[in-house]
Amino acid sequence: MLNRRCPRCQANYASPARFCTRDGSPLVEVAPGDRPTVPTPHLASPSETPPPPAAPAAGAVARSADITQPPSPSELADRQRYSTLSGQDLDGRYRIVRKVGEGGMSFVYQGEDLENGQTVAIKVLTPRLSRDPPSVERLKREASIAMRLKHPNVCPILRVGHTGEGMLYLVMPYLPGEALSEYETRRGQLPVEEGVAILAQVCRGLQHAHDLGIIHRDLKPENVMLVPDAREKNGFRAVVMDFGLAKQRRAGPDVAKLTQTGIVLGTPEFMSPEQIRGKPLDGRSDIYAIGVLAFEMFTAQLPFSGRSAQETMLARLKGAPTPIREVRPDLPPRLEAVITRALSLQPADRPGTMDELAFAFEAVTQGGVLSRLFGK
Protein backbone atom coordinates (compact mmCIF):
# COMPACT_ATOMS: atom_id res chain seq x y z
CA MET A 1 0.00 0.00 0.00
CA LEU A 2 1.42 3.37 -1.01
CA ASN A 3 1.95 6.10 1.56
CA ARG A 4 0.95 9.63 0.71
CA ARG A 5 1.66 12.99 2.32
CA CYS A 6 0.12 16.46 2.29
CA PRO A 7 2.70 18.89 0.85
CA ARG A 8 1.34 21.67 3.10
CA CYS A 9 0.86 20.27 6.60
CA GLN A 10 2.99 17.12 6.14
CA ALA A 11 0.23 14.81 7.46
CA ASN A 12 0.64 11.23 6.24
CA TYR A 13 -2.10 9.03 4.74
CA ALA A 14 -2.51 5.55 3.31
CA SER A 15 -3.76 5.06 -0.23
CA PRO A 16 -6.36 5.34 -1.72
CA ALA A 17 -6.62 8.72 0.07
CA ARG A 18 -6.15 11.53 -2.45
CA PHE A 19 -6.79 14.73 -0.50
CA CYS A 20 -5.73 16.04 2.91
CA THR A 21 -8.63 16.18 5.38
CA ARG A 22 -7.08 19.23 7.08
CA ASP A 23 -6.66 21.61 4.14
CA GLY A 24 -7.91 19.87 1.01
CA SER A 25 -4.47 19.63 -0.65
CA PRO A 26 -3.88 16.84 -3.18
CA LEU A 27 -1.58 14.22 -1.62
CA VAL A 28 1.80 13.20 -3.02
CA GLU A 29 3.43 9.78 -2.77
CA VAL A 30 6.27 9.32 -0.26
CA ALA A 31 8.96 6.71 0.20
CA PRO A 32 7.94 3.31 1.60
CA GLY A 33 8.53 2.90 5.31
CA ASP A 34 6.97 6.18 6.42
CA ARG A 35 4.13 5.24 8.73
CA PRO A 36 0.88 6.95 7.66
CA THR A 37 -0.91 8.77 10.44
CA VAL A 38 -4.31 10.11 9.48
CA PRO A 39 -5.13 13.31 11.41
CA THR A 40 -8.25 13.57 13.52
CA PRO A 41 -11.13 14.96 11.41
CA HIS A 42 -12.35 18.46 12.25
CA LEU A 43 -15.68 17.36 13.60
CA ALA A 44 -18.54 19.81 13.60
CA SER A 45 -16.50 22.67 12.16
CA PRO A 46 -17.43 24.83 9.18
CA SER A 47 -15.14 24.27 6.20
CA GLU A 48 -11.98 26.23 5.95
CA THR A 49 -10.01 28.05 3.34
CA PRO A 50 -6.60 26.27 3.34
CA PRO A 51 -3.65 27.91 5.11
CA PRO A 52 -0.81 29.60 3.20
CA PRO A 53 0.99 26.68 1.55
CA ALA A 54 4.46 25.37 1.20
CA ALA A 55 5.62 25.08 -2.39
CA PRO A 56 3.42 22.43 -4.06
CA ALA A 57 5.02 19.26 -5.30
CA ALA A 58 5.57 18.88 -9.03
CA GLY A 59 2.41 17.67 -10.72
CA ALA A 60 0.20 18.42 -7.72
CA VAL A 61 -3.03 20.29 -8.28
CA ALA A 62 -3.15 23.01 -5.64
CA ARG A 63 -6.13 24.76 -4.05
CA SER A 64 -6.78 28.47 -3.95
CA ALA A 65 -4.27 29.12 -1.19
CA ASP A 66 -1.54 28.83 -3.84
CA ILE A 67 -2.36 32.36 -4.92
CA THR A 68 -2.52 34.01 -1.51
CA GLN A 69 0.36 35.85 0.11
CA PRO A 70 2.27 34.12 2.95
CA PRO A 71 2.05 35.83 6.36
CA SER A 72 4.83 38.06 7.70
CA PRO A 73 6.60 37.27 11.01
CA SER A 74 4.35 39.71 12.88
CA GLU A 75 1.27 38.13 11.30
CA LEU A 76 2.51 34.71 12.37
CA ALA A 77 2.74 36.00 15.94
CA ASP A 78 -0.79 37.38 15.70
CA ARG A 79 -2.04 34.10 14.30
CA GLN A 80 -0.54 32.31 17.29
CA ARG A 81 -2.44 34.62 19.62
CA TYR A 82 -5.70 34.17 17.69
CA SER A 83 -5.29 30.40 17.75
CA THR A 84 -5.34 30.20 21.57
CA LEU A 85 -8.63 31.89 22.48
CA SER A 86 -10.25 29.02 24.37
CA GLY A 87 -11.94 30.18 27.59
CA GLN A 88 -12.36 33.80 26.46
CA ASP A 89 -15.64 35.67 25.96
CA LEU A 90 -16.51 37.74 22.90
CA ASP A 91 -18.58 40.87 23.47
CA GLY A 92 -19.96 39.35 26.69
CA ARG A 93 -22.20 37.15 24.52
CA TYR A 94 -20.16 34.17 23.27
CA ARG A 95 -17.80 31.97 25.26
CA ILE A 96 -15.08 30.22 23.26
CA VAL A 97 -14.87 26.56 24.34
CA ARG A 98 -12.29 24.90 22.10
CA LYS A 99 -10.63 25.22 18.73
CA VAL A 100 -11.95 22.79 16.11
CA GLY A 101 -10.14 23.99 12.99
CA GLU A 102 -8.07 26.70 11.35
CA GLY A 103 -7.21 27.93 7.89
CA GLY A 104 -5.44 30.68 6.03
CA MET A 105 -7.98 33.38 6.89
CA SER A 106 -9.69 32.20 10.07
CA PHE A 107 -9.80 30.02 13.17
CA VAL A 108 -12.92 28.02 13.98
CA TYR A 109 -13.99 27.44 17.58
CA GLN A 110 -16.81 25.63 19.29
CA GLY A 111 -18.56 28.19 21.46
CA GLU A 112 -21.56 28.82 23.67
CA ASP A 113 -24.14 31.57 23.31
CA LEU A 114 -24.34 32.84 26.90
CA GLU A 115 -27.83 34.26 26.36
CA ASN A 116 -29.56 31.00 25.43
CA GLY A 117 -27.00 28.25 26.05
CA GLN A 118 -26.91 27.30 22.37
CA THR A 119 -23.77 25.63 21.08
CA VAL A 120 -22.38 27.61 18.16
CA ALA A 121 -19.42 27.66 15.82
CA ILE A 122 -17.37 30.86 15.94
CA LYS A 123 -15.11 31.73 13.03
CA VAL A 124 -12.52 34.31 14.08
CA LEU A 125 -10.96 36.12 11.13
CA THR A 126 -7.21 36.65 11.00
CA PRO A 127 -5.62 39.91 12.18
CA ARG A 128 -4.67 40.72 8.58
CA LEU A 129 -8.37 41.14 7.83
CA SER A 130 -9.43 42.65 11.14
CA ARG A 131 -6.97 45.54 10.86
CA ASP A 132 -8.03 46.71 7.41
CA PRO A 133 -11.20 48.84 7.84
CA PRO A 134 -12.36 48.70 4.19
CA SER A 135 -11.97 44.94 4.18
CA VAL A 136 -13.85 44.66 7.48
CA GLU A 137 -16.77 46.61 6.07
CA ARG A 138 -16.85 44.62 2.84
CA LEU A 139 -16.70 41.32 4.69
CA LYS A 140 -19.43 42.40 7.11
CA ARG A 141 -21.63 43.35 4.17
CA GLU A 142 -21.06 40.06 2.39
CA ALA A 143 -21.55 37.98 5.55
CA SER A 144 -24.78 39.79 6.34
CA ILE A 145 -26.20 38.43 3.08
CA ALA A 146 -26.01 34.91 4.50
CA MET A 147 -28.15 35.89 7.50
CA ARG A 148 -31.22 35.68 5.24
CA LEU A 149 -30.68 32.01 4.43
CA LYS A 150 -33.05 29.46 5.99
CA HIS A 151 -32.98 25.97 4.49
CA PRO A 152 -32.08 22.50 5.84
CA ASN A 153 -29.29 22.18 3.26
CA VAL A 154 -27.71 25.56 4.02
CA CYS A 155 -25.75 26.77 7.06
CA PRO A 156 -26.59 30.43 7.75
CA ILE A 157 -24.56 33.03 9.58
CA LEU A 158 -26.22 34.06 12.83
CA ARG A 159 -24.16 37.13 13.60
CA VAL A 160 -21.19 39.20 12.44
CA GLY A 161 -19.24 40.70 15.35
CA HIS A 162 -16.33 43.11 15.73
CA THR A 163 -14.95 43.41 19.27
CA GLY A 164 -13.55 46.56 20.82
CA GLU A 165 -10.09 45.01 20.47
CA GLY A 166 -10.61 44.75 16.73
CA MET A 167 -11.36 41.05 16.48
CA LEU A 168 -13.73 40.20 13.63
CA TYR A 169 -15.82 37.02 13.96
CA LEU A 170 -18.78 35.17 12.47
CA VAL A 171 -21.22 33.04 14.48
CA MET A 172 -22.92 30.02 12.90
CA PRO A 173 -24.87 26.99 14.08
CA TYR A 174 -22.58 24.24 15.35
CA LEU A 175 -23.10 21.24 13.09
CA PRO A 176 -21.94 17.76 14.12
CA GLY A 177 -20.66 15.79 11.20
CA GLU A 178 -17.91 15.52 8.64
CA ALA A 179 -16.81 17.60 5.68
CA LEU A 180 -17.49 16.01 2.30
CA SER A 181 -13.75 16.28 1.58
CA GLU A 182 -13.01 14.06 4.59
CA TYR A 183 -15.78 11.64 3.61
CA GLU A 184 -14.35 11.37 0.08
CA THR A 185 -10.90 10.67 1.51
CA ARG A 186 -12.26 7.77 3.57
CA ARG A 187 -14.57 6.34 0.92
CA GLY A 188 -12.79 7.02 -2.37
CA GLN A 189 -15.07 6.92 -5.42
CA LEU A 190 -18.67 7.18 -4.21
CA PRO A 191 -21.43 4.81 -5.36
CA VAL A 192 -23.80 6.40 -7.86
CA GLU A 193 -26.92 6.37 -5.66
CA GLU A 194 -25.10 7.79 -2.65
CA GLY A 195 -23.36 10.53 -4.63
CA VAL A 196 -26.55 11.52 -6.45
CA ALA A 197 -28.39 11.92 -3.13
CA ILE A 198 -25.68 14.26 -1.82
CA LEU A 199 -25.59 16.30 -5.01
CA ALA A 200 -29.37 16.71 -5.14
CA GLN A 201 -29.40 18.05 -1.57
CA VAL A 202 -26.59 20.49 -2.34
CA CYS A 203 -28.54 21.68 -5.38
CA ARG A 204 -31.68 22.25 -3.29
CA GLY A 205 -29.77 24.33 -0.77
CA LEU A 206 -28.15 26.42 -3.48
CA GLN A 207 -31.51 26.93 -5.21
CA HIS A 208 -32.74 28.53 -2.00
CA ALA A 209 -29.74 30.87 -2.03
CA HIS A 210 -30.21 31.68 -5.71
CA ASP A 211 -33.88 32.47 -5.08
CA LEU A 212 -32.65 35.17 -2.69
CA GLY A 213 -30.20 36.48 -5.29
CA ILE A 214 -27.16 34.94 -3.58
CA ILE A 215 -24.37 33.17 -5.48
CA HIS A 216 -22.02 31.01 -3.42
CA ARG A 217 -18.88 31.39 -5.61
CA ASP A 218 -16.71 28.94 -3.65
CA LEU A 219 -18.44 25.59 -3.69
CA LYS A 220 -16.06 22.65 -3.05
CA PRO A 221 -16.01 19.47 -0.93
CA GLU A 222 -14.51 21.37 2.02
CA ASN A 223 -17.62 23.61 2.00
CA VAL A 224 -20.18 20.80 2.27
CA MET A 225 -20.86 19.21 5.68
CA LEU A 226 -22.52 15.82 6.06
CA VAL A 227 -24.64 16.11 9.20
CA PRO A 228 -26.13 12.97 10.82
CA ASP A 229 -29.85 12.83 10.08
CA ALA A 230 -31.85 9.61 10.51
CA ARG A 231 -34.61 10.96 8.26
CA GLU A 232 -32.34 10.85 5.21
CA LYS A 233 -31.78 7.65 3.26
CA ASN A 234 -27.99 7.85 3.58
CA GLY A 235 -28.21 8.68 7.29
CA PHE A 236 -26.89 12.21 6.83
CA ARG A 237 -27.89 15.55 5.37
CA ALA A 238 -25.67 17.61 3.09
CA VAL A 239 -25.31 21.22 4.25
CA VAL A 240 -23.62 23.93 2.19
CA MET A 241 -21.25 26.03 4.30
CA ASP A 242 -19.22 29.22 4.04
CA PHE A 243 -21.78 31.63 2.65
CA GLY A 244 -19.69 34.37 4.25
CA LEU A 245 -17.95 34.82 0.90
CA ALA A 246 -21.17 34.65 -1.07
CA LYS A 247 -22.05 37.42 -3.46
CA GLN A 248 -25.41 39.02 -4.00
CA ARG A 249 -26.21 39.43 -7.68
CA ARG A 250 -27.18 43.05 -7.10
CA ALA A 251 -24.09 43.87 -5.04
CA GLY A 252 -21.88 46.72 -6.17
CA PRO A 253 -18.37 46.32 -7.54
CA ASP A 254 -16.79 47.19 -4.17
CA VAL A 255 -18.14 43.90 -2.81
CA ALA A 256 -16.74 41.78 -5.62
CA LYS A 257 -13.22 41.04 -4.39
CA LEU A 258 -11.11 41.07 -1.24
CA THR A 259 -7.88 40.09 -2.95
CA GLN A 260 -5.92 43.03 -1.59
CA THR A 261 -6.04 41.39 1.85
CA GLY A 262 -4.97 38.02 0.55
CA ILE A 263 -8.42 36.45 0.08
CA VAL A 264 -9.15 34.87 -3.25
CA LEU A 265 -12.88 34.50 -3.76
CA GLY A 266 -13.14 31.09 -5.31
CA THR A 267 -11.03 27.97 -5.48
CA PRO A 268 -9.20 27.56 -8.84
CA GLU A 269 -10.22 23.93 -9.42
CA PHE A 270 -13.92 24.77 -9.00
CA MET A 271 -14.14 28.22 -10.61
CA SER A 272 -16.32 28.58 -13.67
CA PRO A 273 -14.68 29.97 -16.84
CA GLU A 274 -16.57 33.25 -16.44
CA GLN A 275 -15.39 33.53 -12.83
CA ILE A 276 -11.79 33.04 -13.94
CA ARG A 277 -12.23 35.78 -16.55
CA GLY A 278 -13.76 38.16 -13.99
CA LYS A 279 -17.07 38.32 -15.86
CA PRO A 280 -20.46 39.00 -14.22
CA LEU A 281 -21.74 35.88 -12.48
CA ASP A 282 -25.13 34.30 -11.95
CA GLY A 283 -26.32 30.99 -10.52
CA ARG A 284 -24.95 29.07 -13.51
CA SER A 285 -21.44 29.66 -12.16
CA ASP A 286 -22.38 27.60 -9.09
CA ILE A 287 -23.84 24.97 -11.44
CA TYR A 288 -20.42 24.65 -13.08
CA ALA A 289 -18.85 24.15 -9.64
CA ILE A 290 -21.40 21.38 -8.95
CA GLY A 291 -20.21 19.69 -12.12
CA VAL A 292 -16.61 19.74 -10.88
CA LEU A 293 -17.74 18.56 -7.44
CA ALA A 294 -19.70 15.67 -8.96
CA PHE A 295 -16.76 14.62 -11.13
CA GLU A 296 -14.50 14.49 -8.08
CA MET A 297 -17.04 12.60 -5.97
CA PHE A 298 -17.40 9.80 -8.50
CA THR A 299 -13.79 9.54 -9.72
CA ALA A 300 -11.61 10.90 -6.86
CA GLN A 301 -9.95 13.20 -9.38
CA LEU A 302 -10.69 16.49 -11.13
CA PRO A 303 -11.96 16.99 -14.71
CA PHE A 304 -9.08 19.37 -15.48
CA SER A 305 -5.47 19.10 -14.40
CA GLY A 306 -2.39 21.31 -14.25
CA ARG A 307 0.91 21.67 -12.43
CA SER A 308 -0.28 24.87 -10.74
CA ALA A 309 -3.49 26.69 -9.89
CA GLN A 310 -2.93 28.93 -12.92
CA GLU A 311 -2.51 25.96 -15.28
CA THR A 312 -5.66 24.39 -13.89
CA MET A 313 -7.62 27.57 -14.57
CA LEU A 314 -6.21 27.91 -18.09
CA ALA A 315 -7.17 24.32 -18.88
CA ARG A 316 -10.78 25.25 -18.16
CA LEU A 317 -10.63 28.11 -20.66
CA LYS A 318 -9.04 26.12 -23.47
CA GLY A 319 -10.34 22.58 -23.53
CA ALA A 320 -13.13 20.17 -22.71
CA PRO A 321 -13.13 18.20 -19.45
CA THR A 322 -12.05 14.60 -19.35
CA PRO A 323 -15.10 12.42 -20.13
CA ILE A 324 -16.01 10.96 -16.77
CA ARG A 325 -16.61 7.44 -18.11
CA GLU A 326 -13.04 7.34 -19.42
CA VAL A 327 -11.99 7.49 -15.77
CA ARG A 328 -14.77 5.28 -14.41
CA PRO A 329 -16.47 3.24 -17.15
CA ASP A 330 -19.09 1.71 -14.82
CA LEU A 331 -20.91 5.04 -14.40
CA PRO A 332 -24.28 5.37 -16.20
CA PRO A 333 -24.21 7.29 -19.51
CA ARG A 334 -27.03 9.48 -18.14
CA LEU A 335 -24.83 10.61 -15.27
CA GLU A 336 -22.02 11.48 -17.67
CA ALA A 337 -24.48 13.52 -19.74
CA VAL A 338 -25.66 15.50 -16.71
CA ILE A 339 -22.12 16.27 -15.49
CA THR A 340 -20.88 17.14 -18.99
CA ARG A 341 -23.73 19.61 -19.43
CA ALA A 342 -23.03 21.22 -16.05
CA LEU A 343 -19.39 21.66 -17.14
CA SER A 344 -20.27 23.43 -20.39
CA LEU A 345 -17.92 26.28 -21.24
CA GLN A 346 -20.80 28.65 -21.98
CA PRO A 347 -23.29 29.35 -19.15
CA ALA A 348 -26.19 29.22 -21.61
CA ASP A 349 -25.41 25.56 -22.33
CA ARG A 350 -25.70 24.51 -18.68
CA PRO A 351 -28.91 23.71 -16.77
CA GLY A 352 -30.74 26.94 -16.07
CA THR A 353 -31.42 26.39 -12.37
CA MET A 354 -30.27 24.29 -9.47
CA ASP A 355 -33.69 22.65 -9.28
CA GLU A 356 -33.32 21.53 -12.89
CA LEU A 357 -29.88 20.10 -12.10
CA ALA A 358 -31.22 18.33 -8.99
CA PHE A 359 -33.97 16.67 -11.04
CA ALA A 360 -31.40 15.64 -13.63
CA PHE A 361 -29.21 13.96 -11.00
CA GLU A 362 -32.20 12.22 -9.42
CA ALA A 363 -33.32 10.97 -12.84
CA VAL A 364 -30.08 8.99 -13.12
CA THR A 365 -31.19 6.58 -10.38
CA GLN A 366 -34.97 6.90 -10.64
CA GLY A 367 -35.34 6.14 -14.35
CA GLY A 368 -38.74 6.20 -16.02
CA VAL A 369 -40.14 9.53 -17.21
CA LEU A 370 -37.45 11.50 -15.42
CA SER A 371 -34.69 9.67 -17.25
CA ARG A 372 -36.32 10.41 -20.61
CA LEU A 373 -36.57 14.08 -19.72
CA PHE A 374 -33.06 14.59 -18.32
CA GLY A 375 -30.87 11.95 -19.89
CA LYS A 376 -30.51 9.24 -22.49
Nearest to 10 by CA among 40, 44, 33, 36: 36
Q: Which residues pair with 178 in a beta bridge?
A: 226
Between the CA of residue 315 and those of 304, 322, 347, what are the distances in Å? 6, 11, 17
Q: Cβ contacts of residue 267 below 8 Å, gap of 6+?
A: 63, 64, 218, 220
3-state secondary structure of 269: helix
3-state secondary structure of 349: helix
The count of other CB atoms within 10 Å of the CB of residue 70 is 13
Per-residue buried b or exposed e for 267-285, using 16+ beta carbons within 10 Å of the residue's own CB: bbbbbbbbbbeeeebebbb
Q: Are 352 and 341 in contact (CB under 8 A)?
A: no
3-state secondary structure of 176: coil
Taking each helix axis from N to C end, the angle separating 333-342 and 354-366, rounded to the nearest 10 degrees, works out to 170
Would you please indicate which residues are annotated as catalytic (active-site) residues? 218
Nearest to 345 by CA among 298, 295, 285, 297: 285
Q: From its phi and psi, is residue 166 left (phi > 0), alpha (psi between -120 and 50) or beta?
A: left
The count of other CB atoms within 10 Å of the CB of residue 80 is 9
- The Cα 149–Cα 144 span in angstroms is 10
